[in-house]
Amino acid sequence: MPSLDDLKKRIKSVKSTQKITKAMKMVAAAKLRKAQENAEKGRPYSQKMQNIILNLTKSINDPLNAPKLLVGTGKDKTYLCLVLTADRGLCGGFNSNICKLAKSNFKKIISEGKELKIITVGSKGLDQIKREYGKYIIKKFSFKDKKQITFKEAEIIGKEIINLFKQNEFDKCILFFNNFKNVITQIPQAQQIIPVENNSSMDEKDTSFTYEFEPDEDEILEDLLPKNISTQIFKAFLENAASEQGSRMTAMDNATRNAGELVDKLTINYNRSRQASITKELIEIISGAESL
């Protein structure tokens, strides 16, 4: 049985932990609002961009001469996986969920006898992946010192990917990130960005007209496709940022609650043992008096 002093110390330490988690939750909540706003504002851009590309894809009449970024290299031998995670921990299952999804995909790719290349963004994902798949990692990015990730960072990564693609380093590129649904649900997602995935659920009707291109189709595609990749990466960044804060908020909320429960339990224990020692002393005094 722990002494009264020990119990006191424990209660104090749990209480200070609770203070920290509470503060972290508040900070996350404040950041979440901003991140969520950004993610929601950024959605139209990436969606419209994807739409234009899909419309373009449909109007292409000569798929053999179309840019490789759009239709792919025609092979699927080498996969490039881009895993986006946070730079900070203490956010519940956020990082592990992405890594879990990514790892199961890696396993599939390897078991099919295909080549795997990995680029990680964010230090937490790197830590989790390098244990098992360290030898496949070809590049790592971290924007730890940046306060907020802007389109420029996404462009840096986008350019890097396009360079690799031009050097025939890979055939397909898959993006892993957490899609922000609401504060408590974030869904880890895999999105193929090279070649552009054709969503067959799109309505064919309203896109049946043909576009006038100026200057011409190829030049537009050449301009648009790299931009689209950066845009999709940027979208993933925004979704990830919102998810990270949401996930941290829920995790810290739970931690605060757990700490509260622990404090209650310890306090009861503390009071009980205090009362026991008082009772014991009383009994000693009374039985001492009786024996006289």
Partner 1 sequence: MSEKFTIEIITPEKSLVKTDASEVTIPSYEGEMGILKDHIPLITFLRPGIIVIMNKDKKNYYVEEGTVEFSNNNLLVLSSTAKEVLDLEKNSLNTMISEAEKKLSTSDVSDKEKYLLSYKISTLKEINR
Of 2-10, 27-35, 127-135, 223-231, the window that binds partner 1 (rule: CB under 8 A) is 223-231
Tell me how far apart the alpha carbons of residues 105 and 116 are, in angstroms, rounded to a whole number.
10
Q: Which residues in 20-55 are b (16+ Cβ under 10 Å) and which e?
A: ebbebbeebbebbeebbebbeebeeebeebbeebbb
Amino acid at 207: T
Rank residues 175 and 252 by Cβ distance to partner 1 and give the closer one: 175
Nearest distance, CB of residue 226 and partner 1, angstroms: 12
| Strand pairing category for 115-121 and 186-194 | unpaired
Total of chain residues touching partner 1, rule CB under 8 A: 26
Among 77, 104, 108, 213, binds partner 1 (CB under 8 A): 213
Name 63's bridge partners: none
139 three-class SS:
strand
> Can residue 168 be called a binding residue for partner 1 (CB under 8 A)?
no
> Can residue 231 be called a binding residue for partner 1 (CB under 8 A)?
yes
The residue count of the chain comes to 292
What 8-state DSSP symbol labels residue 76? Answer: -
Rank residues 63 and 209 by Cβ distance to partner 1 and give the closer one: 209
Rank residues 42 and 188 by Cβ distance to partner 1 and give the closer one: 42
Nearest distance, CB of residue 215 and partner 1, angstroms: 6
Rank residues 44 and 63 by Cβ distance to partner 1 and give the closer one: 44
Tokens of 218: 């190829």
Nearest distance, CB of residue 158 and partner 1, angstroms: 12
| Nearest residue to 200 via CA among 61, 47, 72, 54 | 54
Rank residues 69 and 224 by Cβ distance to partner 1 and give the closer one: 224
Q: Is the separation of the CB atoms in 63 and 147 below 8 Å? A: no
Nearest distance, CB of residue 43 and partner 1, angstroms: 10
Q: In the annotation, is 81 catalytic?
A: no
| Nearest residue to 109 via CA among 138, 81, 145, 75 | 81
Nearest distance, CB of residue 59 and partner 1, angstroms: 9
Instruction: Measure CA 47 to chain center.
Output: 20
> Can residue 175 be called a binding residue for partner 1 (CB under 8 A)?
no
Site for partner 1 in 18-57 (CB under 8 A): 38, 41-42, 44-46, 48-49, 52, 55-56
| Strand pairing category for 186-194 and 172-180 | antiparallel
Rank residues 75 and 159 by Cβ distance to partner 1 and give the closer one: 159
Instruction: Measure CA 55 to chain center.
Output: 30
Nearest distance, CB of residue 192 and partner 1, angstroms: 21
Q: Kindly list the residues in this chain that would bind partner 1 in the complex (CB under 8 A).
A: 38, 41-42, 44-46, 48-49, 52, 55-56, 151, 206, 209-215, 220, 223-224, 227, 231, 234
What residues act catalytically? Answer: 91
